[in-house]
Amino acid sequence: MGTATVWLTMEKPVTSRTSRHTEGLLRLAAFAVPAAVAAILVPFRVSFPGVDAALVMVVVIVAVAAWGDRLAGALAAISAGVWFDFFLTRPYETFDIRHRTDIETTALLFAVGLAVTELTARGRHHRAVAAEESTHLAALHDVTQMMAEGEDPDVIVSRVEGVLATLLELRSCHYSPGPSAGDAAVISQGGHVLLAGFSWSTLPGSRVELPVQYQGREYGRFVLVPQPGLEVPLERRFVAAALANEVGAVLAGIRRPQP
């Protein structure tokens, strides 16, 4: 269990740095790629209608929005409008637009680019939510399946420790059969984090307790060491409480409840 916990703790910062580096590259590309495409169209700008050139730029925005985030898509839309104006509208290679049709085309390019970016971002968000919910259900099903197959309770507890560490993005997690220390935040059955009479969106302090319960009785608790200041969505906390209840059902058959 200790090895798994250390691995989870060490992996998160590396993943975070990689993600930030990737985001930076995508945002750089969001500004640079429309400029490059507009420059490529320069030799054809006399014979290539402005509307067609604008459609090409929209394709570029869609590609960037599909790979990047909302900010990258917005940057691509702005960049596409700027470089469309500079390279592909008369007078060329200035930021001055004199013809009404060019003004309208540039404005539409901005508007369509931003709209496409927003739609793409929302679609990505809905897919991410669906994927996360599927992962949560899979975790619950995994534990339930282990229970149905009569897996050793210690193996189930160890499995849930690892799932909780990932689910709540913890520094570490371990099960404690002993009584509560009484001075830590507690995750309720509804997934709410309670401390000093207040509800929190983060896991406050250096230790948070997740009671292991079954039919109103406690069978220990998971002791969670959170990432400082990291907000954890209510949905994840609710799943964590459900997993703890599954462990409670297992332990109820082999251990006496705490008074």
pLDDT of 218 reads 92
Three-class DSSP category at 233: coil
pLDDT of 224 reads 96
User: Residue 218 in contact with residue 241, Cβ under 8 Å?
Assistant: no
Three-class DSSP category at 75: helix
pLDDT of 97 reads 78
pLDDT of 149 reads 87
User: Residue 236 in contact with residue 163, Cβ under 8 Å?
Assistant: no
Strand order in the sheet with 217-226: 170-176, 217-226, 208-214, 185-187, 193-195, 198-200
Three-class DSSP category at 97: coil
Instruction: Extract the residue ranges of the chain whose pLDDT is less than 70.
Output: 1-19, 254-259
The model's pTM: 0.57
pLDDT of 254 reads 60
| Domains observed in the chain | 2-128 (no CATH), 151-251 (3.30.450.40)
pLDDT of 19 reads 67
Q: Say how far apart CA 67 and CA 23 lie, in whole Å.
A: 10
